[in-house]
Amino acid sequence: MGRQIEELARFVARTRCEDIPEWVQAHAKLVLLDTLGVILAGSERPEVAALRERLGAGAGSGATVYARGWPHSDPRTAALLNGVAGRAIELCEGLRLVSGQAAMQVLPAVLAVAEQAASTGRDMLAAFIVGYDVVGRLAGGFTPRPLAHQNGQVSLLAAAAAGAKLRGLDADGVSRAMRIATTLLLTPSYTNAVAGATALNVAGGMSGYAGALAPDLALAGFEAQENAIEEALGQLVGGGFTAEGVLDELGTRWEITRNYFRLYACCNPIHPALDCLAAALAELRPASGQIGPEQVERIEVATYRFASVMRNPDPPNYFASKYSLPHAAAAMVVRGGAGFSQLDDSALTDPVIGALRRRVQISEDPAMSALTPRLRPARVTVTLSDGRQATHSRDSHRGDFSEKFSETEIRAKFRELAGTLLTEDGAVEVERAVDRIEEWAGISELTDLLRRSGRG
């Protein structure tokens, strides 16, 4: 087994909450809060609720499902359901410089295993932060296959590491759990997204499932080959892997602080174009009010290749609409934004939005493509029927560590999403509870509060 992987496992096993700088802990609490809100809102999606009902009948107990009624299930099923829910509305945060939605694939395992193991809040927070670190560090050396979506890949191994830490495994045990978890790695295609295939979200949920399962396999005495991680990422699910750089600035550079947040409820690559569109509309907006969709003659978008392929003007369902730049752009014009409430099911059937989608033109700019992933550029020109025109460009989207959303914006997003299941006062109380997670004697301080704060 590689020295770097073993040292990373040792870091996971030995890092305590007090070893992590307070500013990193504070940022991690915000990431946890944001991710929890996304899980709560995502649990209301019809396919997620139906899956919960089907799996609930045969499930055990030991962990909370973060959904209406707060049912219990066995830790593996709870982590699966919470992970699927969090992927369902395309609002989870992610890594900025490499591909991966780390928190949404690590946190469900942390929540479930912490409840199973009666972990303290400090233990939970440490496991969440170091699990996130594993995602960023492995992803930095990982070359995904061209069509692969990274749900259920590197992040699945990180979830296993976080789960193993909470189960009390030592460095060898964390390493073994991660290597065992390579047999559970998935190969979801990005084509699922534009096709509206919600099966993609199951891959994200399986990271949580593996995070709860792999530690039990290690504790039961299962073994794994020494080079399992290097082989799996380099030759099986991936197109290449190098462990060089995995240990760079270990313990001083924290990957969770290098993330991005989302306020637009759609795929992250199209966010720079939406930022440009918002700026162009603001420039053209008359003092007396909004620009009506009938005033927009066309919207021209130039962006990097990966974003430019998200151009379907007729997304077949809610999930596919999250990967359609014409849809998100049209909704922004018609509804004044592209957040959770604007990009809902009704937006898909809104005839005004549908008509405007046809007037959004998207092209790849090769010069912009050459700048990725360091930058994610876009340029948008809005032309109105009276001939007025505005063009705005950006190097990247708002919301990452280089141009952060304010903490107020992130907390407002949580309250909106949590409001799908919680009372207004209850959402505020949960927010305050997460802010003091290091004081929790156990996760019941969160789950009991959720049960008291539910709507109806």
Q: Where are the alpha helices (DSSP H) in 94-227?
A: 102-117, 121-140, 154-166, 171-181, 191-195, 199-219
Provide the 10 A C-beta neighbour count for residue 344.
16
Query: Could you tell me whether strands 63-64 and 72-73 are parallel, antiparallel, or unpaired per DSSP bridges?
Result: antiparallel
pLDDT for the residue numbered 61? 85
Q: Which residue has the tokens 């794994």?
A: 224
Provide the 10 A C-beta neighbour count for residue 345.
11
DSSP states of 326-392 as a string? HHHHHHHHHHS--STTTTSHHHHH-HHHHHHHTTEEEEE-HHHHTTTTT---EEEEEEETTS-EEEE
User: Cα–Cα distance between 203 and 200 in angstroms, integer?
Assistant: 6
Q: Which residue has the tokens 């709860």?
A: 212
Provide the 10 A C-beta neighbour count for residue 14.
13
DSSP reduced 3-state for 302: strand
Contact by Cβ (8 Å): 339, 265 = yes
User: Counting every residue, how long is the chain?
Assistant: 456
Cis peptide before 373 (omega within 30 of 0): yes
Contact by Cβ (8 Å): 13, 173 = yes
CA nearest 271: which of 256, 285, 286, 260?
260
User: Cα–Cα distance between 50 and 56 in angstroms, integer?
Assistant: 10
Confidence (pTM): 0.97
Euclidean distance between the first and final Cα of the chain, in Å? 53
Query: Could you tell me whether strands 63-64 and 238-241 are parallel, antiparallel, or unpaired per DSSP bridges?
Result: unpaired
pLDDT for the residue numbered 402? 81
Any bridge partners for residue 380, and if so which?
A: 301, 392
Which pair of tokens denotes residue 18? 């007090």
User: Cα–Cα distance between 96 and 163 in angstroms, integer?
Assistant: 24
Which pair of tokens denotes residue 418? 């949590």
Cα four-point dihedral sign 131, 136, 140, 145? positive
CA 118 to chain centre: 26
Distant-in-sequence, close-in-space partners of 387: CB < 8 Å, separation ≥ 6: none
Q: What separation in angstroms does the CA of 338 have from each of 203, 299, 310?
A: 25, 16, 15
pLDDT for the residue numbered 1? 58
Phi and psi of 280, rounded to 5°?
Answer: -65, -45
Contact by Cβ (8 Å): 430, 418 = yes
Q: Which residue has the tokens 């949404």?
A: 104
Provide the 10 A C-beta neighbour count for residue 18.
10
Residue-wise pLDDT tens for the chain (456 aa)?
Answer: 589 999 999 999 999 999 999 999 999 999 999 999 999 999 999 999 999 999 987 777 899 999 999 999 999 999 999 999 999 999 999 998 777 899 999 999 999 999 999 999 999 999 999 999 999 999 999 999 988 888 899 999 999 999 999 999 999 999 999 999 999 999 999 888 889 999 999 998 999 999 999 999 999 999 999 999 999 999 999 999 999 999 999 999 999 999 999 999 999 999 999 999 999 999 999 877 889 999 999 999 999 999 999 999 999 999 999 999 999 999 999 999 999 999 999 999 999 999 999 999 999 999 999 999 889 999 999 999 999 999 999 999 999 888 999 999 999 999 999 999 999 999 999 999 999 999 999 999 999 999 999 986
User: Cα–Cα distance between 161 and 16 in angstroms, integer?
Assistant: 14
Which pair of tokens denotes residue 335? 């509804």
User: Cα–Cα distance between 246 and 108 in angstroms, integer?
Assistant: 24
Q: What separation in angstroms does the CA of 154 have from each of 94, 182, 391, 409, 411?
A: 13, 9, 39, 29, 28
